């Protein structure tokens, strides 16, 4: 009897703990969740050609209790997401990329949109924003190399600096009595912000105006100045460049603390990606025993990112035949793992990071049916 009571008490404790855990994970408003996701990795880091963010939105208000993570959103994965009562699908690759002219049952991507809307499931894609993020896909891929230091191959630019304009125009106003007229004229041009400060020219105190301009406004400012040359002197036009972000950007150039043989590196990568096979192109004059110190990597399709980068090894999912030949001719080894195999493993890390970032307010689950479409047979 005592043993039965102990088992009953133990079961009761587990049941109560389960209820507490379930109640602690409630839901988030979709807009609040999207804001938090952007705080985690800003969509401004995505490439200009990409299609990122909220791609399918159920009619508001929409709350999210379960966030479903997948690398690719196929019809099989959509069925799994619906069975698991997902409210929002985070698909690393955007299932909607090219514009759709109609939403019918004829193509699989159109059917994804229909099923999502019918079941009030949102679809969100971060894609290259997660490639560039400091804690993103390429950072995860670099973990498999061994102890190393890394930096982006193509650093991102800070999205919020400068806050206004692409160019700065500075000039001195020749006569004080013309100052108000000049300021009024340039302030009337859309896309221009104006500041002023004192400047001394030939022992004469003058006012120097500094205009931050958009590309379009710059042409109007130049036109105004060319028509009113009597008002100004000592003109400078500066192109405003946003500062580079040290840990954010496309690809990673990784320098190992200690060199290893190419053969050892191949085994490390296979272990990290949980693959039995990878494709290897030996650089000219290289063998499996050749040392590897510097690795240039890019998750997914890396040709455009890796091209021209000096390294002992290129690591990516896929490259064209001719890009592999070009790299090998320069003595660079190339490892190809198939596109999504260099991305999918990141989702486990992402689940943990998002759980902490969102303070475990919602349930976050990984797809069990998502997989790379290519297999070695």
Q: Report angle CA 175, 176, 178 to the nearest 5 degrees.
A: 70
- Is 131 one of the annotated binding-site residues? yes
- Is 93 one of the annotated binding-site residues? yes
Rounded Cα–Cα distance for residues 246 and 252 (Å): 11
Element (H, E) at 162: none
Q: Is the separation of the CB atoms in 204 and 212 below 8 Å?
A: no
- Is 50 one of the annotated binding-site residues? no
Rounded Cα–Cα distance for residues 152 and 297 (Å): 10
For 73, the token pair is 């959103």
Q: Is the separation of the CB atoms in 73 and 373 below 8 Å?
A: no
- CB-based burial of residue 250 (10 Å sphere; 0-12 exposed, 13-18 middle, 19+ buried)? buried
Q: Scanning the structure block, which residue is given the tokens 């460049």?
A: 241
Q: Is the separation of the CB atoms in 172 and 233 below 8 Å?
A: yes
Q: Is 318 helix (H, G, I), strand (E, B) or coil?
A: strand
Rounded Cα–Cα distance for residues 89 and 119 (Å): 12
Q: Is the separation of the CB atoms in 310 and 330 below 8 Å?
A: no
Report which of 142, 66, 137 is spatially closest to residue 295, judged by C-alpha positions.
Answer: 142
Rounded Cα–Cα distance for residues 37 and 337 (Å): 29
Q: Dihedrals φ, ψ of 46, to 5°?
A: -70, 155
- Cis amide linkage into residue 11, ω under 30° from 0: no
Rounded Cα–Cα distance for residues 257 and 322 (Å): 31
Q: Is the separation of the CB atoms in 250 and 153 below 8 Å?
A: yes
- CB-based burial of residue 68 (10 Å sphere; 0-12 exposed, 13-18 middle, 19+ buried)? buried
Q: Is the separation of the CB atoms in 56 and 113 below 8 Å?
A: yes
Annotated binding site: 93, 131, 339, 343
Annotated binding site for a divalent metal cation: 93, 131, 339, 343
């Amino acid at each position: 009897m005592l043993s039965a009571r102990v088992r009953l008490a133990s079961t009761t404790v587990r049941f109560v703990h389960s209820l507490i855990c379930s109640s602690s994970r409630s839901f988030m408003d979709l807009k609040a969740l999207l804001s938090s996701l952007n705080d985690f990795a800003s969509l401004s880091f995505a490439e200009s050609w990409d299609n990122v963010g909220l791609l399918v939105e159920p009619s508001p208000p929409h709350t999210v209790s379960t966030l479903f993570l997948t690398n690719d959103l196929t019809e099989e994965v959509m069925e799994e997401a619906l069975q698991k009562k997902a409210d929002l699908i985070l698909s690393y690759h955007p299932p909607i990329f090219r514009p759709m002219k109609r939403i019918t049952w004829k193509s699989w991507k159109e059917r994804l949109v229909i099923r999502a809307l019918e079941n009030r499931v949102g679809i969100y894609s971060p894609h290259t924003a997660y490639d560039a993020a400091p804690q993103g896909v390429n950072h995860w891929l670099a973990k498999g190399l061994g102890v190393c230091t890394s930096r982006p191959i193509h650093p991102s630019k800070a999205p919020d600096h400068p806050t206004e304009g692409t160019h700065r125009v500075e000039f001195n106003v020749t006569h004080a009595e013309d100052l108000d007229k000049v300021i009024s004229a340039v302030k009337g041009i859309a896309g221009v912000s104006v500041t002023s400060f004192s400047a001394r020219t030939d022992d004469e105190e003058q006012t120097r105006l500094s205009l931050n301009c958009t590309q379009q406004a710059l042409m109007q400012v130049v036109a105004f100045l060319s028509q009113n040359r009597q008002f100004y002197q000592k003109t400078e036009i500066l192109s405003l460049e946003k500062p580079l972000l040290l840990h954010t950007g496309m690809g990673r150039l990784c320098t190992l603390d200690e060199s290893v043989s190419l053969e050892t590196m191949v085994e490390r990568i296979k272990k990290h990606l949980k693959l039995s096979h990878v494709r290897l192109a030996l650089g000219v004059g290289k063998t499996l025993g050749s040392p590897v110190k510097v690795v240039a990597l890019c998750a997914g399709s890396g040709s455009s990112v890796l091209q021209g980068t000096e390294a002992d090894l290129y690591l990516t999912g896929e490259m064209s035949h001719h890009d592999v030949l070009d790299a090998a001719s320069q003595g660079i080894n190339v490892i190809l793992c198939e596109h999504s195999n260099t991305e999918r493993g990141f989702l486990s890390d992402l689940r943990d990071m998002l759980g902490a970032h969102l303070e475990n307010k919602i349930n976050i689950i990984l797809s069990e049916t998502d997989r790379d479409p290519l297999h070695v047979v």
